[in-house]
Structure 1
């Protein structure tokens, strides 16, 4: 369950459009350096270029596992930030399609939520670098959620 202090911190983050204190509570988010901010189109997640995230030093390209982890974490954060869930959503499955190399540069992601039934939410995630119309990866995730929280 999310306690009142965390709810208050989430409210303040929404008001200030500063999610860094919340992300600092997630060790993997800190490790890979994920950032997010609210925009007119929704939440924009960013994975800044970081030499520690490189998997292929010859290109250089971001490790596929880092890209997948970034996308999965973005989906979970989207649910936490905007569904009012009282618990961390539990992942049921995650499937990623790599479309092109994620080169050593900033990577961005957006998520779309759809409710499926009473307890499952489907999240579609798109990641890109230079142009949102040229994604480097797409993914689908299903999360088990509390029945009272619908996207």
Structure 2
């Protein structure tokens, strides 16, 4: 079921419009936001729009939850905090998530995005997501 949900997530209009891609090697999932001119928010630098970077981080967080355990439905954000650490330049952005804790209803996820060097992140996300693990009683 989680594979179907992952495909559903990637097929949503906004996610497919910005072109998010996922690469999975073993248990490690890396998100890729390929650069396109439509993602530029500040043409003077040029830098990617913060909204596109933030949405990308949220997609990677949700996808990581779907890959980490079987889910009955897509994770829903409860609260998300994004730190923009440096401008995301006009090039591809990569991100990886760590599921810090995943309970019966809530999961805690951290995501780092970078360009070029993993040790120089351009943005980070820390969020709590409402989850419904497969087999969990959906009435509670």
Report the counterpart of residue 93 of structure 1 in structure 2.
79
1:72 and 1:130 map into 2 onto residues whose CA distance is 20
Identify unmatched segments of 5+ residues in structure 2: 136-140
2:130 equivalent to 1:138:
no
2:38 equivalent to 1:31:
no
Structure 1 pair 128–88 and aligned structure 2 pair: CA distance change class (3 A): same
Query: What's the RMSD between the two structures over aligned residues?
Result: 2.3
Which of 57, 64, 74 is the matching residue for 2:50? 64
Offset at residue 103 of structure 1 (A): 0.2
What is the TM-score normalised by the length of structure 2? Answer: 0.86
Structure 1 pair 24–110 and aligned structure 2 pair: CA distance change class (3 A): closer
Structure 1 pair 24–88 and aligned structure 2 pair: CA distance change class (3 A): closer
2:81 and 2:54 map into 1 onto residues whose CA distance is 9
Bigger relative contact order, structure 1 or 2 (CA pairs below 8 A, ≥6 apart):
2
1:22 and 1:37 map into 2 onto residues whose CA distance is 16
2:111 and 2:103 map into 1 onto residues whose CA distance is 20
2:64 equivalent to 1:78:
yes
What is the TM-score normalised by the length of structure 1? Answer: 0.80
